[in-house]
Structure 1
Amino acid sequence: MGGVDSPPDDPISSLSPGTAEQASDATKARPPAGEPEPDFYCVKWISWKGERTPIITQCENGPCPLLAIMNILFLQWKVKLSPQKEVITSDELMAHLGDCILSIKPQENSEGLQLNFQQNVNDAMMVLPKLSTGLDVNVRFTGVSDFEYTPECIVFDLLNVPLYHGWLVDPQSPDAAQAVGTLSYNQLVEKIITCKHSSDPNLVTEGLIAEQFLESTATQLTYHGLCELTAAVKEGELSVFFRNNHFSTMIKHQGHLYLLVTDQGFLQEEKVTWESLHNVDGDSCFCDAEFHLSQTLGKEAAGSSPQEQRQVDQDYMIALSLQQQQQGPSALSDLELARQLQQEEYQQQQQQQPATPPAQVMGLQGRAQPSSRPAGERRQRHKQESDCVLL
């Protein structure tokens, strides 16, 4: 598997009128006829930690690995652009990235390590052209930083940029955990094909279980993976997050995960810089550069009232705080965690509404008890109550 981002059909026409004029200098350097034109990206300027800082946006197919890495370097102020820069080409970005790699010095002075370091630098420079289109990334389902090693990973290692994913098999599902094992994605697909054509019924069953795991986690993010990701990423750490063949710039702020918004549609939205990563279904909240909740609502909450959105955000904070308590062998089961979360929500509502009539109190308390409804109906009701409590 890998990440591939197609360039826009007509980069210039996709720019806004004012931005197209800014691109005049870049268009003068177009290659001769017959050669492919470079991709153009719009630069968005944000106030990051009190300093005017550029980030690169993209108009189609989400952030590619080049943009994800470069945006980290911009946010770390390791690469700077002219204050008037509004448009940049992929060639310019790769030139900046190449300069960063060539400026890295080996930490050890021994001759052997220096030769190995120089070889890694040479290999990384050879990989750079792939960054603007896609990388071969093959996840393992055992850990958020577990990938099958490929030459492309050298770029991340040299720049000291962590690469994460959240596609993990839940150990509370022993059958799936056994079927998946320590295999990578590519190896698991091969195993499924082999098992389905086996004459051994046990192997056929194992293959079907593995196939069901891939189908049920098609979003390439599980709640177990999200919990592990939240625990693994360091506070304030900038990293690259891989999901659904896309690479995003990610940060952990005050214990919560956020993805950098690089969609060119938000180029003029000053209050939209980060997008929360708190569930597997794609629901999210937008924040500004200081991580204050934006009035621009998340994808699924666009039709919600301000009161409903505040409740969603409050539930989101509660859910993440409970996730952080799941450490060590005493970790809560999904059912226990759901009950604790429901009880927490009930207590908060009691504090906010001290004069709640007894009948309503009984209704709230009833949510903290195991329901006699079918499992599917319980999940649907739970989803309607809060997008952030599904764990």
Structure 2
Amino acid sequence: MSSDGGEDNAAPRHDEDNLISHQDNLRESIEELWYLKEVSFRPSPDAALRTLKIITQNYNGPCSFIAICNILLLRGQIEIQPPERTSVSYDYLARLLGEYLLTATPGEDTTAALSVMPATRKGMDLNPLFTGTTAFRPAGEGGELKLFEHAGIKLVHGWLADPDSPEYQILSRTQDYDTSVNLIVEADHLTKGRLLASAEVPAEPEAGGSSSSGGSYNTLSRDDRQKVQDAVIIRDFIDKTQSQLTYYGLFTLASAIEPGQLVALFRNSHLSVLYKPHGPDGGLYTLVTDQVFLNEASVVWERFEDVEGGMSSFVDSDFIHSSPAGGDYAGYTAESALAALEAETAGLTLEERGDAELARQLQAEEDERAHQAREARRARERAREELTASQQHVPRSALPADEPAKKAKRKGDCIIM
């Protein structure tokens, strides 16, 4: 009967749905499992050199949450146990951080900070002001900022407008990113969608005349026309500073951060650990937490010295320049990752081993993406080197008689994170 056939078909579909749901949950669990890397750190010149483990992150790792935990680890305010542990989960770190907040701030209301922690799995809603390195507007109930406050971590950014720049006067009125974007959206609506398609500031119409821009701009009030002009300037500033950092902001950070200070840096919609070591160097460094450097012991910090990152270089725990053995992705191989998975899944049941097999498959897919990125980068480097070499060794006789030999130009190496 048709009803019997329907029941028979429903059961396999139900099982398949359960399997898909189970695999999705497992995928989320794997994405929330982060490997630990052993580093050395000396918090002050007279302090002993400490060996500790920091948290590395994969592509989908919650950078804000991991940055907070890594700062507390470097300070020695939390500790991952046992020492032989090779990975941690979100749940483990959340308990560790929650316990720290409760014991470090006795008597204070930590409700807002603790309630926002689950949201850190997907990131944080941070709204920087263009007028100060430590200026952020709270989002929602402000739990994000309370989390940093109770953890005793300074949150900074370098997305600042230079007071001598033409856009500063406008940005000092809108102040923060969200308000500035809202003005752009409002101005785009006033111009019926033409603002974002235009690269020029609409001209102010002369008395008795009309604007050269034409269209709906002519019908706007003076206040609305001013909004449009301000929005274009703000839009151009945001377009020119897509890395969410300016040189004025970088120089301000360099002078504002004290030697030995660990802070959380907001940049590129990403949160990282920023540190200024003691000594005559006076430079700024960000902690390297990318999982692809897991087995590169000499890659611990990255020098933070330009807006786009093209001049960055890696250093070790002693802030001595390091050269990764096999390029940006060296030290993180399918073999090492799968070996770690094998060690952690030993003694599992058949069903659990099936889950582990899926975990290995997901890990292999991530390794393949890293491998493809590495090969593409090496191919570009070889092509650039071959082109440079061919230009440098062209015999003079091969050039036209009226054209002098030209010296080949070589761009500086750019490390792409």
Same fold (TM over 0.5): yes
Identity %, equivalent residues: 34
Deviates more, 1:252-261 or 1:91-100: 252-261
**What is the rounded CA distance, in whole Å, between the counterparts of 2:90 and 2:182 in structure 1?**
35
Runs of 4+ off more than 4 Å:
31-37, 297-304, 383-387
Q: 1:62 to 1:95 in 2, by over 3 A?
A: closer
Query: Aligned to 2:124, what secondary structure does the other structure show?
Result: strand
Measure how far apart 1:186 and its partner are: 0.8
Query: Aligned to 1:256, what secondary structure does the other structure show?
Result: coil
Of residues 185, 190, 194, the one that matches 1:193 is 185
Measure how far apart 1:132 and its partner are: 2.4
Structure 1 residue aligned with 2:307: 280
Query: Aligned to 1:255, what secondary structure does the other structure show?
Result: coil
**What is the rounded CA distance, in whole Å, between the counterparts of 1:191 and 1:270 in structure 2?**
47
Measure how far apart 1:214 and its partner are: 0.8
Structure 1 residue 148 corresponds to structure 2 residue 147: no
Unaligned runs of 5+ in 1: 1-30, 107-113, 305-380
Q: Are the counterparts in 2 of residues 272 and 296 from structure 1 also a CA contact under 8 Å?
A: yes
Structure 2 residue aligned with 1:53: 52
Structure 2 residue aligned with 1:122: 111
Query: Aligned to 1:152, what secondary structure does the other structure show?
Result: helix
**What is the rounded CA distance, in whole Å, between the counterparts of 1:303 and 1:277 in structure 2?**
23
Matches within 5 A, 1:97-116: 97-106=97-106, 114=107
Structure 1 residue aligned with 2:170: 179
- Which amino acid is 1:70 matched to? C
Question: Which string of whole-angstrom CA distances, capped at 9 and with x for unpartnered residues, describes residues 170-194 of structure 1?
Answer: 11212x1122124211100111222
Matches within 5 A, 1:12-27: none
Q: Are the counterparts in 1 of residues 134 and 157 from structure 2 also a CA contact under 8 Å?
A: yes
- Which amino acid is 1:47 matched to? S
**What is the rounded CA distance, in whole Å, between the counterparts of 1:63 and 1:285 in structure 2?**
24
- Which amino acid is 1:295 matched to? S
Normalising by structure 2, we get a TM-score of 0.59
Structure 2 residue aligned with 1:135: 124
Question: Which string of whole-angstrom CA distances, capped at 9 and with x for unpartnered residues, describes residues 323-350 of structure 1?
Answer: xxxxxxxxxxxxxxxxxxxxxxxxxxxx
**What is the rounded CA distance, in whole Å, between the counterparts of 1:385 and 1:260 in structure 2?**
23
Q: Are the counterparts in 1 of residues 259 and 276 from structure 2 also a CA contact under 8 Å?
A: yes
Task: Provide the aligned C-alpha RMSD in A.
Answer: 2.8
Deviates more, 1:212-221 or 1:291-300: 291-300
Measure how far apart 1:64 and its partner are: 1.2
Structure 1 residue aligned with 2:233: 209
Q: Are the counterparts in 1 of residues 62 and 120 from structure 2 also a CA contact under 8 Å?
A: no
Measure how far apart 1:204 and its partner are: 2.1
Deviates more, 1:155-164 or 1:33-42: 33-42
Structure 1 residue 243 corresponds to structure 2 residue 237: no
Query: Aligned to 1:225, what secondary structure does the other structure show?
Result: helix
**What is the rounded CA distance, in whole Å, between the counterparts of 2:98 and 2:295 in structure 1?**
29
Q: Are the counterparts in 1 of residues 36 and 54 from structure 2 also a CA contact under 8 Å?
A: yes
Q: Are the counterparts in 1 of residues 62 and 121 from structure 2 also a CA contact under 8 Å?
A: no
Q: Are the counterparts in 1 of residues 127 and 176 from structure 2 also a CA contact under 8 Å?
A: yes
Q: 1:63 to 1:259 in 2, by over 3 A?
A: farther
Q: 1:144 to 1:237 in 2, by over 3 A?
A: same
**What is the rounded CA distance, in whole Å, between the counterparts of 1:124 and 1:204 in structure 2?**
38
Query: Aligned to 2:263, what secondary structure does the other structure show?
Result: strand
Structure 2 residue aligned with 1:92: 92
Q: Are the counterparts in 1 of residues 115 and 143 from structure 2 also a CA contact under 8 Å?
A: no
Normalising by structure 1, we get a TM-score of 0.63
Measure how far apart 1:62 and its partner are: 6.0
Structure 2 residue aligned with 1:294: 322
Query: Aligned to 2:249, what secondary structure does the other structure show?
Result: helix
**Which structure has the bigger radius of gyration?**
2
Measure how far apart 1:63 and its partner are: 5.6
**What is the rounded CA distance, in whole Å, between the counterparts of 1:93 and 1:105 in structure 2?**
18
Give aligned pairs, total. Answer: 268
Structure 2 residue aligned with 1:263: 290
Question: Which string of whole-angstrom CA distances, capped at 9 and with x for unpartnered residues, describes residues 300-338 of structure 1?
Answer: 99969xxxxxxxxxxxxxxxxxxxxxxxxxxxxxxxxxx
**What is the rounded CA distance, in whole Å, between the counterparts of 2:124 and 2:40 in structure 1?**
31
Query: Aligned to 1:210, what secondary structure does the other structure show?
Result: helix
Q: 1:385 to 1:75 in 2, by over 3 A?
A: closer
**What is the rounded CA distance, in whole Å, between the counterparts of 1:128 and 1:385 in structure 2?**
41
Structure 2 residue aligned with 1:372: none
